[in-house]
Structure formats: structure tokens, C-alpha cells
Chains A and B, each alone.
Chain A
Amino acid sequence: MKTGAKILVESLLREGTEIIFGYPGGVVLPIYDELYDSPLRHLLVRHEQAAAHAADGYARASGRVGVCLATSGPGACNLVTGIATSYMDSTPVVAITGQVPTNLLGNDAFQESDITGITLPITKHNYLVKSAGDIGRVVQEAFYIASTGRPGPVLIDIPKDVSTGMAEDVKLPEKVTLRGYNPTYKGHKRQIEKALELLSHAERPLIYAGGGIISSNASPELIEFATLATIPVTTTLMGIGCIPCHHPLNLGMLGMHGTEYANFAVTECDLMFAIGARFDDRVTGRIDTFAPHAKIIHIDIDPAEIGKNKRIDVPIVGDVKAVLKDILTLMKKQDAHDIWLKKIKHWKQHHPLKCPSTGGLHPQFVIRTLSDLVKEKAVIVSEVGQNQMWTAQHFCFHNPRTWITSGGLGTMGFGFPAGIGVHFARPDVPTFVIAGDGSIQMNIQEMGTVAASKIPVKIAILNNMYLGMVRQWQELFFDRRYSFTELPAVDFVKIGNAYGIEGIRVETPEDVLPAFQASLDCDGPFVMDFRIEREENVFPMVPAGAAINEMIGGHPR
């Protein structure tokens, strides 16, 4: 016989868990006692929200399931934003929470909250475990559900008496089978043939590539398909990295802050392959004017995404990687789309992203400097706001899973703790967090975590003393009425120092490269406080409700 807590830890190890991110409390004491001398690593964060984001960052960078742990009530509730962030971006996370003993459930016991109820709409599935004997099966199922099909977070709520309760080891099946859960991996052959038939007549095809390509590890297949059929590729914010930035067919990001040439290509294409993407409103702009001349082929593992926002001509439900492999097998030799590529080349030449070079310190320059310095030897994690968009636009990403960002939920405070998780997934390369001065202050307490455990995350704060993205909207659409978006100056280097972290303030372009070099020379965490041009904007931009080719801040057409 073993305790539920012991079964839990053994089950996590059985699933291959290397590290869990957590924070203790009353009802998880039995679990923490089990962790005390367990081979399972545990990282103590300073706020449970950070544990959830760290688990998520770990999952995104590694492709494996990230795990976080919190106590009941306030601990569990603090995970919520992190779980919702994973849910929106479909990342595999297992969140474990303690719960009050079963005999007190529903009694408003001390630190009780109905976390399975609260997380119902933001988890792929959740469990309230009722007996120690169920823990092994539940953990196995949770990892299976989180990591297969369209990935997503799964929460396991474990009452205290269940983790102290005794049970025999149960023999678990090799493979999980759940009657109500059977994701479709293989695409329908006839649908694939229909898609290829459309391709053979297309003159201006375009691939709109989303985060699904990253999560199904389908980058090589995507690049092969694009290259063999000479189809240009535009990626969503979540899809960045699925094709190298310098690949001749890559048009960069589309949508609200996409490149002009990507958005022009969307508007003019006659055939669109939407692959692992979900027609989010930040991508499409006014939906009825999105790809108005195109027949649309949509490849996605989630049937509920097909036709959700946009009418689809050829849906293909299946794992993006498997479907692309089948496409490659069935595809005949394709004609190159020379005229189309020439047109795109022209757009690229005449509508490049702008990188201001006169005046003070520009964030675009900061990002490009880092990009040139680290090349493909780093993982970049962003916060949310202008800092995120500048990084997405100006950093040159070479590989999948090297760009980590909160897309669907746009969670300020995600980046820094996610970066902590990323480090454990990719200790072989430096992790850079590109933050805003607003976002970093949403989980700044994690400086304590990285300082205490010497986690060498490099934090680059693009400090404009504003909630810059909101300020930009106020400037453009609210008559420059900067209502509650100015942040007083904060000396982030001093804050870092107080935690025992080295840092540097940078005020001129000449000091940017040395600062990044200093951060790399430092063994531990490092803070860089870049005092950027305060009212720099992110351009080009599709105003809310406009068609995506109606951008402001671009080049004259």
C-alpha cells in the first residue's frame, strides 16, 4: 500500500516529468513531503501564476507536457490566468491542485474553491479525484489528453485525504483508451485530392501557417511542401518559426501588425492553404474581406475550427504533419508560380518593415541587434504589447519552438515566468525575455525565483514608461488622450540588484550590443533596462474593423 501523494509523484515520473513548478500550502503538504526526497525536480516560484506560465513555457519550448502544482483556494485560483493562457494557445499542461478533504467539499471549508468548476471553460478536461486508487489512472489520462489531438491544459484536483489515503498500485494499460476522445490524425484522402486539384489550377496560392504547425512538429513537411509547390508562406503570431525568416518564400507575419506584403498576398491570393490556424480576428481583420478572391483549404486537427469564422471550400481534419506528409506523397510535380512570386518580390522590395534609425533608442534596433548577435542560438520569449509585436516583426527566427509568446489570451505577465520554464526545456541555449515595463511588473516577483535558483534568464525590458500598446491606440483612435497609460519611471536595474541580479541600463544605440554581450557573459540572470523612444509605435497596423490590406503606417502603394 502507498499514499496517494506517493502514487502521484511516481505517476508523474512514469509520464517522464523532469520538473514541476509549484508553490506549497496546507492541503498539498502530503505531496510536498513526498517531493522532499524525490528524484522529481521542483522549482519554487514566488506566485502560482508564474508556476502555470513556467509550465506552459516549458511545454511550448520542449513539446512535452509542462506540470505545475498549487494548493487549494487562493493557490488554485492564482493558476487560472496561466491555465487560460495555455487553453487559448493549445499547449499541453497538467495543473495539479490540492483540495480540501472530501468530507468538507462544498462546506466553504478553509481555502476551498471549486477549481474544477472555475476551470471548466478553460481546460481541455479536468478531474476531481475521489480516491487514492484513482490517481495513477487519472494522471495517465491527463497527460494523454493534454498532449494528444489538439493539445490543451488538464487540471487534476486532489483532496487532502486522497493524497494521504492508501491504495495498492494499479496496473495501468500501455495505451489510454477513452471512448469519448478519439482525435482524427489521418486526413481524408479524397479531401486531400480535392485540395491538390485546386492547387493544380491556382495561379496565386498562399499558405497561412499557424501554431498548429509548431505543435504538430510539422515544420519540415511545411517547408518541403511550400518549396516543391512554390507557395509563399505567411505565418500567424503563433506560427512564427515554422519557416526560417530568411527563406525566400517566407512573407513574415500577417494580420493586424503583419507585413504589408503578407497582407497584400492574402488579399490577392486565389487559393489559400490555412494550416493549423484558426482565423482569429487579429489575423483576419474584417472577416468578409479576408482572402476575398481565394478558395480556402483548411487543415486542422480540431473539427470545431472548420468553418467557425470563415466559410471553407475544402476542409481536411487531421494532424497537420500527417496531412502534409500525405499531400507530399500524392502531389504531382507543380508548375512554379513565377508571376505571383515576382509580384510578391516587388511588394517585399517596396514595402519592407520600417526600422527607424535617427533620433534616440529605437526598440526595433534593439531587437535587430539581439537577433544579429544570437542568431539561432537562443529562445526568445516575449511579454505582451508593443514589445511583443516589435520582436515578432524584427527578430529573425530560424526554428520552431524558439519564439514563445502568449497569442490567444495576450497575457501580460506571461513572458518572464514562461522564460523560466523555457530555460529548463532548453538549457543548451540562452533564454531572452523581451518585456515591456508594464508587463514585467505583473510578475516581477519572479526575480526572486531566478536569483535564488541561479536561472540564467536574460530580461530585456523595452522601457517606454507607458502601457505602450494601449497608449498607441489612444494616440491613434482616442485623440491622444492618454488615460491611465503612463507609468512612472522605475529603475529596473536597482530592483534586479535588490534580488541579487546583475543588470545594466541602456540609453543609447551604441550601448545596446555591449549590454547584450554582458548579459551573455554573465552566468546567472541579467536585467537590461532599455530606455526607448517613449512614443514609438508599432507599424504597419490594420485598424480595428478594417480590411487587412487597409494598413496605416506603411509605405505608399
Chain B
Amino acid sequence: MKPHTLSILVENKAGVLSRVTGLFSRRGFNIESLAVGPCEEPGMSRITIVVIGDDAKVEQIMKQLNKLIDIIKVSDLTENERVERELALIKVTAEQGTSRAEIMQIATIFRASIVDVSPKSLVLQVTGETDKINALEKILRQYGVKEFVRTGMIGILRGSKMISGGK
């Protein structure tokens, strides 16, 4: 069992997301992370899904995904050199004083930016791989994480190789 990052190019049509996610839930798979948005082609979207599962099961799901009419291409990025990123917004309790200064220091170390300031809280924006975001959230917990919102992971292959193309 290991995490697989699947990149799925789909026609941007009503219901396409439930067609995709239905194939996972039907097999008892839990989706770890999901990100959807338009992509380089007009009328198309790219869905990035992270699931944990054994290779054979994930391969079967990929084959089933390929059978869906609205799905153009499915790739497992896991075996390739790739860049993976996620963006998170973290609202931390930050009263005036030392804790506020500490949080700002931590933000610098993680190259997070402060995107909102209020008398009692700060909002940090951070991008990176899943581990980095988890690490930042963990450190901030001692100050009180009020809310933690993340986009879900997206990935792209390194070099000139592309994930899209004909099926």
C-alpha cells in the first residue's frame, strides 16, 4: 500500500467528478486528496487524485477510469520524476507579543507568507509538498490552529514530458 498520484484529464461536463469519484468509493477506496481545475485545453479539466492502495487495485481503477467516456487520459505520476505542490491557508491564534513574533519567524523558515492580520490571529499561506505543509501545521498547533484549509495536491512531470495527449 502506497500513495499514488493520479492525474486525470476530463471533459469539463456536469457529473464528471462523480463518475470519477464513484469508481473509488465503490471499491472502498478513500481519496486522500482531490484537486480539480481547468487546464491548458479549453473545455477540459484536470483532476489530481491521491489515493493509498496496492498497485494492482490502483491499476484496476485506472483501467476503469479509462473506460469512462468523458475521461480523456489517466496517468499515474507516482513512477515518474515530478513536481508536486499543495497550497494551504492556516489561521493561527496570535495574540500581541512573543507568540506573534515566533509565528512570523516560523513563517519565514517555511517561506510562508502572512496574508491576513487581525488583533487575535494571523493567516499563513504556504505552498509545498504534503510533508512540508503537515510539518508547518504541526509546529503551529502549539499556538492554536483555528482553521486549516488546503487545496489538495497537484502534480506535473519534470522536463518536457507531458501528462496529457490522446488516450
Contacts and interface: CB of A to CB of B under 8 A. Distances in A.
Contact of A180 (B18, B22, B60, B71): B71
Interface in A87-143: 116-117, 120-121, 124-125, 128
B167 A128 contact: no
Interface string A438-465: 0000000000000000000000000000
A182 B67 CA distance: 9
A153 to B, nearest CB: 13
Interface residues of A, number: 18
B18 A308 contact: no
Interface residues of B, number: 21
B68 A180 contact: yes
B64 interface: yes
A494 B97 CA distance: 92
A120 B69 contact: no
Nearest to B73: A180
Contact of A178 (B19, B63, B64, B69): B69
Interface string B9-40: 01100110011001000100000000000000
Interface in B31-82: 56, 60, 63-64, 66-72
Contact of B66 (A116, A120, A145, A303): A303
A177 to B, nearest CB: 12
B64 A180 contact: no
Given A116-B15, A120-B19, A180-B167, A308 B69 contact: no
Contacts of B14: 128
Nearest to B44: A179
A302 interface: yes
Nearest to A179: B72
B22 A121 contact: yes
Contacts, number: 41
A304 B70 contact: no
A181 interface: yes
A149 B42 CA distance: 28
Please classify the interface of chain B as helix (H, G, I), strand (E, B), loop, or mixed, using the class held by over half of its residues: mixed
Given A128-B14, A178-B69, A304 B19 contact: no
A302 B72 CA distance: 16
Contacts of A304: 60, 63-64, 66-67
Interface in A297-313: 302-304, 307-308
Contacts of A308: 60
A258 to B, nearest CB: 27
Contacts of B67: 124, 302, 304
A145 B63 contact: no
A14 B70 CA distance: 25
Contacts of B22: 120-121
Given A120-B18, A308-B60, A182 B167 contact: yes
Interface string A515-557: 0000000000000000000000000000000000000000000
A551 B15 CA distance: 47
A125 B71 CA distance: 11
A121 B11 CA distance: 19
A145 B15 contact: no
Interface in B144-167: 166-167
Which of B68, B69, B72, B167 counts the most chain A CB atoms within 10 A? B69
Contacts of A302: 67
A442 to B, nearest CB: 26
B52 to A, nearest CB: 21
Contacts of A181: 69
A180 B11 contact: yes
B70 A180 contact: yes
B65 to A, nearest CB: 9
Contacts of A145: 69
Contacts of B56: 307
Nearest to A308: B60
Contacts of B63: 303-304
Interface of B: 10-11, 14-15, 18-19, 22, 26, 56, 60, 63-64, 66-72, 166-167
Given A120-B19, A180-B71, 10 more contacts: A128-B14, A179-B72, A179-B167, A180-B10, A180-B11, A182-B167, A303-B63, A304-B60, A304-B66, A308-B60
